[in-house]
Amino acid sequence: MPETPSNDVLIDEPAPRRRRRIWPWVLGFFGLIVIVLVAAGILGARLFSEAMDVRDDLEAAKSRLGNVTELVRSGDAEQFSAVAADVLTYTSDADRIVQGPLWQYASWVPFVGQNVAAIRDTTEATHILVRDALPASFTVLGAMQRENIRFEGGGFNLATFRGALDALPAVDAAFTEASVKISDIDRDALLPFVDDAVGQVIDVIEQSAPIAHTATEVLPTALKMLGEDGPRTYLVIFQNNAEIRATGGEGAAAVYVRADGGRITLEGLTGSTTFESPGLSGVQHVELPADTLALYDDEFARFSQNYTKTPNFPTAAKLFQGIAAKTGFAVDGVLSLDPVVLADILSVTGPVTVDGIEITADNAVQVLLSDTYLRFPGDQAPADAFFAATSATVFQKLVGGDWNLMAMLDVFGAAGEQQRLYGWFTRPEEEVVAQELGIDGAMTSDNIDTTEVGIFLNDAAVSKLEYYLSTSIAVTCDATNRTVTTAITMTNSVDRDDLTFHILARRSPTYGGSGTSMLLDVLYFAPPGASITSVSPASGDAEGLDRASTEDGRNAQSIAILLDRGQTRTVSYTSVLPEGPLGPLSVRYSPTVTDTPITIDQGCAALTP
């Protein structure tokens, strides 16, 4: 089976520093600093003594914290308080030492000073976290234990989360204050071994501070989304990457989910089982601007399996909301994920069995997107039903809550980064939560925070061939002419001759291809305010399928490309960027079943200083 990807974005710039443990103080580090200070004649012996005291205090604190995880798990508040008091004593002593006049004077010495200051600042930041965040963290982490959060039968104990909410502001404030302490450290100016040490605490603060802040901001509304103030109904779409769409794949399988007081229940299966019924299929249920409709084929807004052809997830979600209303469901939000996310969920929950087939993290993508269509060669309905049943079974196991919460949060965090998870909600304050989490899927409307290019794929062949599709994306810039070029390279890796009717392309032969030829609409969105000046090739392979229009104010263009079995092709678009400041470049794209490497050329930095 193809590799199940992480879809991490690759950028041609120095690799990010590795996440390390928060306690950076290692034997020998302070000695090296002191050697330099002694050579400069600056009270080296005394500074050495104080540095060793700081090291010893922090090592002792680290040692005492060794069993904190077990204390949190057991809920032993009394023992935790004793450990926290001891640790605070050690970090208080270290903090007092580094705030002494000798450390201040040493921080002014050329070349050496910034290294001494970095040690001092990170020691102070560590003390702040121990003093202010550690006690509150006991409450927060204690709430995260599975026995405290899960309801028998499925759902989450909101009272426990409410207790965590009361403690989160202290954690947020501590990380904010610690961030200020380290904000003036220029890591590029540090000696390598100094950066290697203090970088550990800097990395933790920089990574954790936004999380603590987001949790503090998001959790109150999230509790309401889980039915704290009354029941909510959500439509969860499972996108099928084998028939690729802009946000992942066709939405043939879906479930209705009810959240009431934290208890989560499955209300029923839907998708192709109901949305293709007479009176629903072939009818546009939601009005859309003419410019938006002009960018897609005439099936886009009339058939639910095509709603995700737009990369603007709020638009797709409103289309799903509209058709759901016709079946009697007033939904409070629409969520979407794909089989790669389902596989990652199974890596935390453990496998499920559907129709006698065990589905695991290792085989889920292959079973759902390939094997199932080979098992049912004559009729797509059983394949869709199996896909839906599997999705529902995984979801039931997910809401059962018998898994590690932190590991699951990692799964959903990665899914958002990989553009495999989206959420849209009817209430404005809840849509803000989706935006905070980066899963709203809305195309950006300005270039302030980021200059976003988007390049997407939509299956135009009516096939399930994109299980065999792999892609990569490269972005290059010409700062002088203020242009950005976005290129997508696509490979058709069909490697077998026994593909069934529902896998093979039905429309590709009409345009000179074969049953194993993918026919892909390559859809490009220029950054806000940018124009599209060229595309290569200049036109597509299917007459009448090339389109150009706007959606939500952004210029967009697509050409239809035939990609034969074993073939690799590249399509590129060039845009002229608008005048004015630009945020760093970012890329929106269609996730496939495998990784999509992305490179942004170093020259683009000149456009987005």
Average pLDDT of span 121-135: 83
Please give the Cα distance from 387 to 336 (Å, whole number).
15
pLDDT of residue 44: 60
Residues in CB range of 541: below 8 A, 6 or more apart: 511, 512, 513, 519, 560, 561, 562
Please give the Cα distance from 380 to 374 (Å, whole number).
10
338 or 146, which is more confident: 338
Global pTM value: 0.83
Phi, psi of 131 (to 5 degrees): -70, -45
Task: Report the range of poorest mean pLDDT among 267-276, 378-387, 460-469.
Answer: 378-387
Is pLDDT above 60 for 466? yes
Burial 270-308 (b: 16+ CB within 10 A, else e): bbbbbbbeeebeeeebeebeeebbebbbeebbbbbbbbb
Is pLDDT above 70 for 2? no
Binning pLDDT at 50, 70 and 90, where does residue 146 land?
A: low
- What percentage of the chain reaches a pLDDT higher than 90? 54
CA–CA–CA angle 293, 297, 302 (5° rounding): 75
pLDDT of residue 21: 42
Most confident of 44-53, 91-100, 270-279, 559-568: 559-568
Closest CA to 271 of 395, 388, 181, 376: 388
- What percentage of the chain reaches a pLDDT higher than 70? 88
HEC per residue, 439-508: CCCCCCCCCCCCEEEEEEEEECCCCCHHHHEEEEEEEEEECCCCEEEEEEEEEECCCCCCCCCCCCCCCH
pLDDT of residue 23: 41
Average pLDDT of span 28-57: 59
Average pLDDT of span 11-26: 41
Residues in CB range of 502: below 8 A, 6 or more apart: 373, 376, 377, 380, 383, 464
pLDDT of residue 74: 62
pLDDT of residue 68: 64
Is pLDDT above 50 for 343? yes
pLDDT of residue 13: 42
pLDDT of residue 29: 44
pLDDT of residue 145: 64
3-state secondary structure of 350: coil
pLDDT of residue 237: 95
pLDDT of residue 334: 98
pLDDT of residue 112: 72
Most confident of 27-31, 350-354, 393-397: 350-354
pLDDT of residue 317: 98
Average pLDDT of span 414-441: 95
Asked if 579 contacts 599 with a C-beta cutoff of 8 angstroms, the reply is no
Question: What tokens does 243 get?
Answer: 């028939």
3-state secondary structure of 418: coil
Average pLDDT of span 345-360: 94
Residue that has been written with the tokens 């890329």 in this structure: 587
Asked if 34 contacts 47 with a C-beta cutoff of 8 angstroms, the reply is yes
Is pLDDT above 80 for 11? no
pLDDT of residue 210: 80
Is pLDDT above 70 for 36? no
pLDDT in tens, 287-328: 999 999 999 999 999 999 999 999 999 999 999 999 999 999
Asked if 338 contacts 249 with a C-beta cutoff of 8 angstroms, the reply is yes
Is pLDDT above 70 for 81? yes
Residues listed for the chain = 609
pLDDT of residue 297: 96
435 or 74, which is more confident: 435
Average pLDDT of span 35-59: 64
Average pLDDT of span 190-217: 76
pLDDT of residue 27: 39
pLDDT in tens, 223-279: 999 999 999 999 999 999 999 999 999 998 899 999 999 888 888 888 887 888 888
pLDDT in tens, 494-530: 999 999 999 999 999 999 999 999 999 999 999 999 9
Task: Report the range of poorest mean pLDDT among 82-96, 193-207, 350-364, 556-570.
Answer: 193-207
Binning pLDDT at 50, 70 and 90, where does residue 164 land?
A: confident
Listing DSSP states for 294-340 in one string gives: TTS-TTTTTSGGGGGGSS-HHHHHHHHHHHHHHTT---SEEEEE-HH
